[in-house]
Chains A and B, each alone.
Chain A
Amino acid sequence: MSANGAKPKFAMYWAASCGGCEIAVLNIHEKILDVDANFDVVFWPVAMDAKYKDVEAMPDGSITLCLFNGGIRNDENEAMAHLLRRKSKILVAFGSCACEGCIPGLANLSSPQSIFDTYYETVSTDNPQHIRPQFVYAAPEGEIHIPEFYPVLKTLDQVVQVDYYMPGCPPESHQIAAVVDLVIKALHGEAELPPLGSVIGVGNSTVCDECPRQRNVKAIKQFTRIQDLQAPDPTLCLLEQGIPCNGLATRSGCGALCPQAGAQCIGCYGPADGVIDFGARLMTAFASVIDSKDPAEIERILDGLVDPAGQFYRFSLPGSLLRAAKPAWSRNGKSDEG
C-alpha cells in the first residue's frame, strides 16, 4: 500500500481476443468486491470509460496489476502492449490468447490475403460492392488511419516482457479468485509473489491427472470424431475410445471439466511444465498409442485426424516453435491487397 493511503491501481485490457476473459473475471462473483475494495480500477475498456491518453498520462509503473488478454494482431495491439508494459509493475499475460495466441492465432495458418478473402467474400458475407478495409483513407478532413494488420499474430511475450502467465480459454474463475487473493495478500505483506516468469493459477500436472475417467492400455486402431461416435463410454478414457483428446499434454488447473462433461480436452490450458512445443508433444503421444506397424494401415488410422495442425495447435500456434505457416509469413503470401 502506498504511503498516502491511495489504493493500488488495477488495469485490464483486451487485444485480439473474444471478451471471454473479461467475463471470466466478472464470474468470480462477490470476489469482485474484494478487487474493488483493494484496487483502484484505472483502465478497463469493457467495464469503464477511459481513453488511451488517460493511460499515457499516468506515471510509469503506476499500475500495480495489469491483466492483459488477447494476442497481438495489429499495431494498435502492439502499441497498447508497450504502453501498458511501461505503466505496469506486474503485467500478466491473461488467458490463452496472450499466452500462446489461442483461436485468433489459428489465422497464422493462412496468408493475410486469404484471411480477408474469407472474411469479406464468402457466402456468409453480404458484400456486393466488394468493399475492403483501407488502412489509410484520405477524408476531406484529413488522412484517417486504421490499425495495420500484421501478417502473423504474436503472443504478448513476443512483443514485451511478461511477468506472469495465466493460461486458459478462459482462465477458470476459481483460479482467478485465488490469484486475486494472493496478490491482495502480497500487497499486505502476508504472502510472497511467485518467481517472475511463473505460470500462475494452474496445476502442476496434466489434465489426465485430474480426469476421473478410467485408464487402461491405449492401443488405437481408429480415430473418431466425438460427434461420429454412436455411444461413447461415459467412464472410459476418451483417447482409448479413439477420440483425439489433448489432455495428455495439457496443463492441469481446469479440473478436467471437458472430459467430465463427455467432451475431449482441446488443450486450452496450454503446454504442461517442461513442454517446449505443445503440438510436438501431442504428436509424440498420439503416434505412440496407434496400434499398428504397417505404414499403409498407420496412414489409414491417421486419416481419422482430419486436421492435424488444428488438433495439435488449436490454442498454441503463435507460441509454438514454428509460430506460423509459410503462407502467413512468406513474401508470396504477404500480398498487399492484390
Chain B
Amino acid sequence: MSEQFEPVIIGFTCNWCSYRAADLAGTARIKYPPNVRLIRLMCSGRLDPTFVLKALASGADGVMITGCHPGECHYLEQNYKAMRRYLLLRRTLEQMGIEPERVKLVWASAAEGVRLAQEITHMVEEIRALGPLHWPTWPDGGSRRLKAEVQPELEEVAA
C-alpha cells in the first residue's frame, strides 16, 4: 500500500478549556491534522472509561482526553478524577494489548490553542507510526439486549 495510513483519533474536550483551545486554534488559523474528531464534554470528569473503550472497539486508532490544568477545573477538582481514571484505564488497556500511546491525557487551557494543536500533531504522528488498531467487529447473535443500544431515529426538522 502506497497510501499513507490516516489514523482516526477521538478527542474528548472540556467545554471550559480544551474545547475553547481548539476553537482558538481555529480562529487563529493554526494548522493541525484533521485526524482528530472532537467531542465536547462539560468536563473531563464526565469522561466515563466506557467512552474510550467504545471508541477503540468501534474503530478508533487512538483516544485523546483533554481537560483543564490541575487546580483549574471549572468544577473544582473533577479533572483529578479524570486523571485517576485515565491512569487506571491505561493499566487495564495494557493488559488488553493496547499500546499506551493510543490513549493520552492532555491538559490545555482555553488560551493554549497552539499547544493543543502541537499535541494533536504529535499524537497523530505517534499513532501513524504504530499503525491501525483494527479492533475486530464481531458479529452478534441478534441479541435482544443489545438492541436497546440501537441509535434512536432522528426526526427530520423542516428547514
Contact = CB atoms under 8 A, between A and B. Distances in A.
Interface of A: 81, 109, 152, 154, 156-163, 165, 196-197, 276-277, 279-281, 283-284, 286-288, 290, 292-293, 295, 298-299, 302, 305, 307-309, 312, 320-323, 325-327, 329-330
A327 B96 CA distance: 8
Contacts of A156: 141
Given A109-B95, A293-B80, A281 B50 contact: yes
Interface string B63-102: 0000000100000010011011101110110011110000
22 contacts: A109-B95, A161-B142, A162-B145, A163-B144, A197-B143, A277-B50, A280-B50, A281-B50, A283-B85, A287-B87, A290-B84, A293-B70, A302-B87, A302-B88, A302-B91, A308-B92, A309-B92, A309-B96, A312-B92, A325-B97, A327-B97, A329-B136
Given A161-B144, A309-B95, A322 B56 contact: yes
Given A161-B142, A162-B144, A325-B95, A298 B84 contact: yes
Contacts of A290: 84
Contact of B50 (A159, A197, A276, A286): A276
B83 A298 contact: yes
A302 B87 CA distance: 8
Interface in B17-38: none
A288 B84 contact: yes
A162 B146 CA distance: 11
A298 B50 contact: no
B3 interface: no
Interface string B133-144: 001101111111
B39 interface: no
Would you call the interface of chain B mostly helix, strand, loop, or mixed? helix
Nearest to A163: B144
Contact of A162 (B49, B50, B80, B143): B143
Contacts of B148: 197
Contacts of B130: none
B144 A320 contact: no
A280 B80 contact: no
Contacts of B143: 157-158, 161-162, 197
Given A286-B88, A308-B95, A295 B83 contact: yes
Query: Which among B80, B135, B139, B145 has the highest number of chain A CB atoms within 10 Å?
Result: B145
A197 B145 contact: yes
Given A154-B138, A157-B141, A165-B145, A326 B83 contact: no
Contacts of B136: 329
